[in-house]
Structure 1
Amino acid sequence: MNRAALFDVDGTLADTNHLHVVCWWEALRQAGHDVAMHDIHRAIGLPGEDLLAHLLGDDRDTSEDDGLSAAHTTLYGTYFDRLPPLASAAGLLRELDRRGWRVVLVTSARGDELDALRRAVDADDAITATASSDDVDKGKPAPDPVRHALDLADAPARGAVLVGDTVWDMQAGSRADVACVGLLCGGIPRRDLEGAGARAVYRHPADLLAHLDTSPFAGHTA
């Protein structure tokens, strides 16, 4: 049975959540929307349209959505050449690959943004595939991206672990019947990650790597 190690990227493997917060805040500000950065932070990890619905409401003027997303993309793009990976992110992916796990990225990023994130993490040799928001009709917290990632890894849910930093990651993994591991490096509190389905919570990739043998990854055998 194949084993799938599924990873969110923003806030999980790359220290980018707060860059997204600032870029969404500026994009919204330019369009006349006063949204607190704290609220934006809690929405990071949702696909763009869902993030805007979460922040502005379903009754918003949706004709603004494309412009707001484009403004965020333009602002965020100024960081593409210096996105910071989290310590030991690449080492964690490589160690799981060495142990026989099929590593698949599960992310709302796409196109040039996804390319920039992969360059930052710098572990393509350990990555089997990537499931982006372009591949499914519904993004996290729907289970669709996780199920698509399982298909790419040719692995069942019972042989998979999802690592993420947001409640949306934990909810998506739980709805797909995958074991979930939360990381605190994205800025979301432990209790929120556990409440959304995390079986274990670690500080960051280096912490998970150091405790791999006692983590949910140790509960799955080949």
Structure 2
Amino acid sequence: MTAKRGVLFDVDGTLVDTTYLHAVAWWEALRQHDEDVPMAQIHRAIGMGSDKLLDHLLGGDRDTSDDERMSTAHDVLYGAWWERLRPLPGAADLLRACADRGLAVVLASSAQGAELGKLRKVIDADDVITAATSSADAAESKPAPDILQAALDQSGVDPEHSVFVGDAVWDVKAAGKLGIPCIGLACGGTSADELAAAGAVETYPDPAALLAALDRSVIKKLLD
């Protein structure tokens, strides 16, 4: 039996231009609860789940009684941008190009259900998406590999015949825990050097650049 081959994609910051909106929403949510954290620190934490993000930014030994309220404040502030979200260059075309080559296309997202629905509309490539995860599918958020494992389970893709595409150091670390090669895209604001240092096997500026190099990339090896 031939192993199912596929490409897993992070969504926020990888396919849809949301990273800085999340950073601003967290910055304001934290300020509402008297936590003044520099924006650059928040940006570097984007990609973690809210529980890990708050521990990372505020320390794990703090009073956590306001965590749920801060997370809710972030969701409300970020939600105000939903109708203005835009795909990153080449996002839908990249997904379709992978599907055209016979690869399963899987969204490995930890967004909540309604948010994921909006992100999928923004990408506008549902006709080629094999499976998509949401926050409900993972017990633990990145850099834990739970969401990637859920994406593999839902799609039936063989982990030994898969590649993950993400934009954050946390994406690269999560993929590494499952032994999956990770391509890093710098369109989420993390530099190519940082992504490579975390273990990304290749880096590109955005989905369009990966699309242009697709048949020279590590994704091509899935077809060999």
* TM-score bin (small chain): over 0.9
Deviations 1:18-64 (A, max 9, x none): 00010000000111100000000000000111111111110122111
Question: Given the alignment, which residue of 4, 26, 50 partners 1:2?
Answer: 4
- The aligned counterpart of 2:74 is 72
Matched, 1:24 2:49: no
Aligned residues: percent identity? 51
Runs of 4+, deviation exceeding 4 Å: none
Q: Which stretch shows the higher mean deviation, 172-181 or 143-152?
A: 143-152
Question: Given the alignment, which residue of 120, 129, 132 partners 1:130?
Answer: 132
Question: Tell me, what secondary structure is at the counterpart of 1:134?
Answer: helix
- CA-based RMSD: 1.0
Contact 2:16 2:123 (C-alpha < 8 Å) held by counterparts: yes
Contact 1:182 1:198 (C-alpha < 8 Å) held by counterparts: yes
- The aligned counterpart of 1:37 is 39
Question: Tell me, what secondary structure is at the counterpart of 1:148?
Answer: helix
Aligned length in residues: 222
- The aligned counterpart of 2:218 is 216
CA apart distance, 1:111: 2.0
Aligned equivalents of 1:195 and 1:146: distance in 2?
21
CA apart distance, 1:106: 1.0
Contact 1:46 1:108 (C-alpha < 8 Å) held by counterparts: no
Aligned equivalents of 2:97 and 2:199: distance in 1?
25
TM-score (norm 2): 0.96
Counterparts of residues 192-203 of structure 1 (less than 5 Å): 192-203=194-205
Amino acid at match of 1:54: H
Question: Tell me, what secondary structure is at the counterpart of 1:155?
Answer: coil
CA apart distance, 1:112: 1.8
Gaps of 5+ in 2: none
Gaps of 5+ in 1: none
CA apart distance, 1:80: 0.9
Contact 1:4 1:150 (C-alpha < 8 Å) held by counterparts: no
Aligned equivalents of 1:128 and 1:60: distance in 2?
41
Aligned equivalents of 1:5 and 1:45: distance in 2?
19
Aligned equivalents of 2:62 and 2:11: distance in 1?
29
